Each structure stands twice: as C-alpha cells, then as structure tokens.
Amino acid sequence: MFLTLPKPETHAAPAKPLDLFQAIADLKQELNAVILAHYYQDPDLQDIADYIGDSLGLSQAAVNCQADVIVFLGVHFMAETAKILNPQKLVLLPDLDAGCSLADSCPPDRFAAFKAAHPDHLVISYINCSAAIKALSDIICTSANAVKIVNQIPKEQPIIFAPDRNLGRYVSQQTGREMVLWDGACMVHEIFSERKLVDLKVQYPSAEIIAHPECEENILRHADFIGSTTGLLKYVQRSDRQAFIVVTESGVIHQMQKATPTKKFIPAPPTSNCACNECPYMRLNTLEKVYLTMKNRTPEITLDESIRQAALKPMQRMLEMS
Ligand code: 13P
Ligand code: SF4
C-alpha cells in the first residue's frame, strides 16, 4: 500500500509515493521494534506482524520479547497488558481509541463495590479488562486457559468471574463450578443471529460450526467446536472437514485461509445487515496509523506504577497456571 505525503515546500521535485510496507520494515529495524498483532486485525496488519496470536499467546510473546519497542496491533487492554509485563519498554498502540466494549462494561468503582459484597470470593478476571480491574483481581485468564485455571482452584473456594458473563457461563458448564458472574458482554459476539446460523447450516450441511466462547448460549449450542482464536485456527487445520462456519470476529479467517487454502470459511452473519462481525475497535488500527505511530513514537501506553504492580501479580499467576 502506498501513501502520498504532502509536498515539502522547499523541494521542487514531486513527492514520491511512500511504500508503507517497506517504510514500516525500515522503522522496525531503526527502533529495534517487534510488531505483535491479534487475529482480529485487518489482513494487511496481520501480514506485517512478527507474531500473530490470541490474547494468551500475545501475553506470552510480550514476556519473552527482546525488542526495545513493542508495536501492538490490537486493542487498548492488550497493549496495556504488554506494558504491565514490560514497564521498561516503549509500548505503542496506533489508535488509543481502540477500546473494547467488554472491558468498558466493567468500571473499576462499580467492580470494587461488587467485590466488597462478596468478601470471601476469589476474583478471576478475563484479560479483556482494564489494568484497574486487573489490579482488583486475584488471577487473570484468557479464553484459551479459563477452564484450566478454574479447574485448579480448590472446590470449596467461591469464585467471582468477570467481566464476560458468556465466557463465565461457558466455563461454569465445563468445570461444574458455580461462579458469581459480572454482567458484561462483547458487542461483536452478542450480535450473531441464531436463525441465520441455522439457515447457513442448512445451506452447507457438511460444514462444521466453530465458535468463540464469548458467544451467547443459544449460539454455542450449535457449535461443533468452541475455542479461543488460536484454538479455532488449530482446529480447522486438524479437522478433516472442508467447510467451516466461523462464529467470531471475521479477521481470524485470514490466517485460516492462509493455513488451509483449499478449505472454505463462511463468516457467521450478525442479526442486522451490518458488518458487525468486525470489531469496530480492532479495525481502528490501519497501516497508515502504524507507520505514523512508529515514525513519531506515539501514542504510547502509560500506566500508574502502583496500578501496574497490582495488575502484574494476577497476570503472573495466570502465566504460572497456564
Ligand atoms: P482470544 O482469547 O481468542 O484472543 O479472544 C480475544 C477477544 O477479544 C475475543 O473477542
Ligand atoms: Fe472487545 Fe469484543 Fe472487540 Fe474482542 S471483539 S476486542 S471482546 S469488543
């Protein structure tokens, strides 16, 4: 992709279009930067990443990275998580408005009161939350390790699970553990239409339905396989089926198609005729913004040190228990 920069006033020659892919590669070397991207990013952004992963993989990559600068292609809570784990590194996010409806559904003041009302409960929070919520939590989990982590908690220990009620309900069903759930949800995973999903299954009877656990129960009931984005990607590679109806943010299909070019992937439709199966926050990052972010070394993620330290403890527990 090319970007034509405005003509510098003092130069007579016309401005040459800038090859953004090359310019980003050059800046990566200059900054000693690593580019980490989530599967829900635009395909162009996935293609410039050094590492593409789900939230767990991205956290592990952030811990192990040797670079001076982390360019995070994802949403704010993910870049913030990288900063929690790497306070000495410059962590850049191309658009600071790349938030998350699920993280927003759990404001720290209300959550602190909720926690105070359940004083004997252990707090397990899904990584899709702010650093302030992480700081109020005992253990963080992702969609990839939530069941494994809950299974390690002694049976008699009561648990609060926040902020996603859909993942919480799914984990409860998988582990047989009753948990007190915070009533939050993701705007993308709430929007899938059960009726349209069933219509698709009628149209493609041999296709398997694969879904992310953030989906509502009426959708998950139809799924042949449920997993994190990495889990879904691995599943399509090992399944002998040739077609899949993918019930999560449609960005993940890019890697599925690359890994298994002969297979067919059908994005599950939302209730209305919108592109609501694309996360509007994830899609705020663009190639142009990545270039400008690296060139100007801003916007960067900053964190209050006391919140960072409090948020680090439950993150470390997660990494130990994964
Ligand atoms: P993963 O755990 O699969 O990365 O999911 C993150 C997410 O934001 C899902 O909406
Ligand atoms: Fe948040 Fe949903 Fe977007 Fe994931 S898909 S980042 S949970 S709004």
DSSP assignment of 145-188, as one string? THHHHHHTS-TTS-EEEESBHHHHHHHHHHHT---EE--B--TT
Residue 123 and residue 160 in contact, taking contact as beta carbons nearer than 8 Å: yes
Looking at residue 293, its pLDDT comes to 98
Report if residue 231 sits inside a domain. yes
Q: Is the CB of residue 255 below 6 angstroms from any atom belonging to ligand 1? A: no
Q: Are residues 83 and 150 in the same domain?
A: no
Residue 75 lies in a domain: yes
pLDDT top residue among 7 and 57: 57
Q: Residue 277 has what pLDDT? A: 92
Residue 135, in any domain of the structure: yes
Confidence of residue 274 (pLDDT cuts 50, 70, 90): confident
Mutate to test the pocket of ligand 1, among 81, 142, 277 (most ligand atoms within 8 A of CB): 142
Nearest ligand atom owner, CA of 279: 2
Distance 98 CA to ligand 2 centre (A): 10
Report the number of distinct structural domains present in the chain: 3
Q: Which domain holds residue 201?
A: 194-278
- Percent with pLDDT over 70 in the chain: 96
Q: Does 83 share its domain with 116?
A: no
Domain-located, residue 78: yes
Q: Which of 75, 77, 106, 142 to mutate to test the pocket of ligand 2 (most atoms within 8 A of CB)?
A: 75
pLDDT at 13: 67
Q: Give the mean pLDDT of the chain.
A: 95
Q: Is the pLDDT of residue 4 over 60?
A: no
Which has the higher per-residue pLDDT, 5 or 294?
Answer: 294
Instruction: Round to the nearest angstrom and report the end-to-end CA distance of the chain.
Output: 39
Together in a domain, 274 and 290: no
- Residues 181 and 316 occupy one common structural domain: yes
Is the pLDDT at 157 greater than 80, yes or no? yes
Average pLDDT, stretch 275-289? 95
How far apart are the C-alpha atoms of 295 and 30, rounded to whole Å?
Answer: 10
CA–centroid distance, 116 to ligand 1, in Å, is: 28
Q: Are 40 and 78 in contact (CB under 8 A)?
A: no
In a domain, 115, yes or no: yes
The pLDDT value recorded for residue 8 is 54
**Mean predicted confidence (pLDDT) in 174-194:** 97
- Say whether pLDDT at 273 is over 90: no
Atom 8 in ligand 2: residue holding the nearest Cα: 100
CATH number reported for the structural domain that contains residue 85 in this entry: 3.40.50.10800
**Is any atom of ligand 1 closer than 6 Å to the C-beta of 41?**
no
pLDDT band per the 50, 70, 90 thresholds, residue 201: very high
Q: Is the CB of 144 under 6 A from ligand 1?
A: yes
Residue with the smallest CA separation from ligand 2 atom 1 is: 100
> Is any ligand 1 atom within 6 A of the Cβ of residue 142?
yes
Domain identity same for 55 and 89? yes
From the CA of 100, the nearest ligand is 2
In a domain, 14, yes or no: no
Q: Which among 195, 249, 242, 240 has a CA at the least distance from the CA of 222?
A: 195
CA of 16 to the centre of ligand 1 (A): 39
**Is residue 12 over pLDDT 70?**
no
Average pLDDT over residues 100-124: 98
Q: Which pLDDT does position 269 carry in this prediction?
A: 87
pLDDT at 44: 96
Over residues 57-105, the pLDDT tens digits come to: 999 999 989 999 999 999 999 999 999 999 999 999 999 999 999 999 9
Query: Which tokens sit at 173?
Result: 């069903």
CA–centroid distance, 280 to ligand 2, in Å, is 8
User: CB–CB of 210/235 below 8 Å?
Assistant: yes
Q: 16 or 118: which carries more pLDDT confidence?
A: 118
In this structure, are 222 and 236 located in the same domain? yes
Which pTM does this prediction carry?
A: 0.94
Q: Which residues contact 11 (CB under 8 A, 6 or more apart)?
A: none
Residue 15 has pLDDT above 80, yes or no: no
pLDDT of 5 reads 55
Cβ-based neighbour number of residue 203 at 10 Å: 10
Same domain as 108, residue 94: no
pLDDT at 2 over 70: no
- Rounded to whole angstroms, the Cα distance separating 265 from 95 reads 29
Cβ count within 10 A of residue 230: 21
* Residue owning the nearest CA to atom 5 of ligand 2: 279
pLDDT value of position 275: 78
| Ligand 1 atom at minimal distance to the Cα of residue 55 | 4
Q: What is the pLDDT of residue 74?
A: 98
Residues 109 and 168 in one domain: yes
- Whole-number Å distance, alpha carbon 268 to ligand 2 midpoint, is 16
Binding positions for iminosuccinate: 38, 55, 126-128, 143, 212-214, 229
Q: What is the pLDDT of residues 144-156, one digit of tens each?
A: 999 999 999 999 9
CA 143 to centroid of ligand 1, rounded, Å: 7
Kindly give the number of the ligand 1 atom that is closest to the alpha carbon of 142. Answer: 2
Task: Provide the pLDDT for residue 313.
Answer: 98
Model confidence band, residue 6 (pLDDT cutoffs 50, 70, 90): low
Arithmetic mean of pLDDT, 37-51:
98
Under the banding of pLDDT at 50, 70 and 90, the label for residue 238 is very high
How many angstroms separate the alpha carbon of residue 153 from the centre of ligand 2?
Answer: 27
Q: Which atom of ligand 1 is nearest to the CA of 38?
A: 4
Q: Look at residue 1 in the predicted model and tell me its pLDDT.
A: 60
